[in-house]
Chain A
Amino acid sequence: MKCEEFEAIGLDAERDASLSEAERAAARAHINSCSRCAAFQDSWLAARTELRSLVEATSEHQAPARVEMRLRQEFRTQHHTVKARRAVVIAGWALAAAAILVGAVSWINWRASQHQGVTSHPGAQSNPANLAASGGSGAKQAPDQNLGANPETLLADNELGDFTLLPGVLPSDTDDAAIMRVRMQRSALGALGLPVSEENAGDWIQVDLLVGNDGLPQGVRLPQEN
């Protein structure tokens, strides 16, 4: 081992785990043969002893108590802010959920009242053909008096008995049909193959259409008024 190598790795040969046993032996051999390196090692050992005194003098040092105080204060502030923000978010979601629930219950009640109205007058205006021809009072509603004021409404009403099937439609074709409530002029019933009185052709009426999977109407019903 040369002096440069010893200075680089020999001083810590016993402590450096990355050195091989052969390198350690070479360092030991060099120190025995080189007085300059032996002196360098001695002076370094003396310096290390002095460094130890610095280590001992500072071994009890720790951050002042005020640092812990400041950190704890900051911790509280941060987590209280997070908690408050979380509470606001939760309250917001709870309010939204409550609003949706109230809306859903109101809609269900409205639907139930509509259904009750229909079933309480089973005989009235059940034949759309007659009603279309006669221009009965129930069919003379102004457009702005229609229920819900929606031009088209999908209904979950499965009672198909009141429907008059359009010409060419078999009862078996209506198995998967959906009911759609629409508002139209009475004259439009003529396009579906139903008789229409000319006097009332311009009236706006509300009808339930039985619509098949192909999107074409298969039956028609004039709903009863409440």
Chain B
Amino acid sequence: MRIAEPERDDVLLRQAARGDEEAFTLLYRRHQAAMYRFALRMTGNNWAAEEIVQDVFMTLMRQPKKYDASRGTIGAFLYGITRNRVMKHLERLPREVALEEKNEDGTGSGIVLQDNATPATWAEKRERVEQIRAAVLELPAEFREAVVLCELEEMSYEEAAAMAGCPIGTIRSRLHRGRALLLAKLEMLRDVPRRASAVR
């Protein structure tokens, strides 16, 4: 199926560069969620992810000519900028892991489990998701990036390699080491409550 000409990303970008605010807004709405989730999964920090997304689209707004259609889609271009901003953020704050953050509406950190389980099961599940999130965030940045791109963003090795700007072999190797570390951390996190309950 072909996307209608006026709604194609590159057409929208051209219109935005000429001052069409609606075109820019449409482009933003189309891509912001993916960029935000990637930034959030990499940084674990709502505020940082928000700043990064804003920064990425500011760049697009101010320098639309930086995008070269022959080098890929606008989505990939935005991912590239987001990745650079995330890496810069992680370099500045290497060990920052958000503990408890509030959304705009005052609710919790944003992880929402959408099922009808009992409160006990829900709490257990939520705790486990938090543990996984923390385990991912504790991975070194390069391994974390491979895990986020291939496992959470569900990109192929080729896409992840293009995004990270490295060969497929490097992504495969980082993913392997990231998985091993993640497994070890998850095992450890799983054992901590068991040991704690055994002591009691």
- Interface-lining segment among A6-14, A29-37, A91-99, A193-201: A6-14
Interface size of A as a range: 35 or more
Of B68-76, B85-93, B107-115, the stretch lying at the interface with chain A is B107-115
Residues of A within 8 A of B136 (CB): 51, 54
A21 to chain B, nearest CB (A): 17
Within 8 A of B (CB), among A56-94: 56-68, 70-72, 74-76, 78-79, 82-83
- A44–B112 CA distance with the chains assembled, in angstroms: 24
A9 to B157, CA, bound (A): 11
- B interface majority secondary structure: helix
* Contact in complex: B151, A51 (CB < 8 Å): yes
Q: Is the CB of A75 within 8 A of B156?
A: no
Asked if B186 and A47 make an inter-chain contact with CB atoms under 8 angstroms apart, the answer reads yes
Interface size for B (C-beta < 8 A) is: 53
In the A-B complex, the 4 residue pairs with the smallest Cβ-Cβ separation, listed nearest first, are A62-B33, A79-B19, A63-B36, A57-B111
In the complex, besides A44-B179, A62-B36, A65-B104, 17 extra interface pairs with C-beta distance below 8 angstroms are A16-B172, A17-B156, A43-B183, A47-B179, A51-B147, A51-B151, A51-B152, A57-B112, A57-B129, A61-B33, A63-B53, A66-B104, A67-B32, A71-B54, A74-B61, A75-B61, A76-B21
| Interface, chain A (partner B; CB < 8 A) | 7-9, 11-12, 15-18, 43-44, 47-48, 50-51, 53-68, 70-72, 74-76, 78-79, 82-83
- A-contacting residues of B (Cβ < 8 Å)? 16, 19, 21, 24-25, 28-29, 32-33, 35-37, 40-41, 49-50, 53-54, 57-58, 61-62, 103-104, 110-114, 125, 128-129, 132-133, 136, 147, 151-152, 154, 156-158, 168, 172-173, 175-176, 179-180, 182-183, 186-187
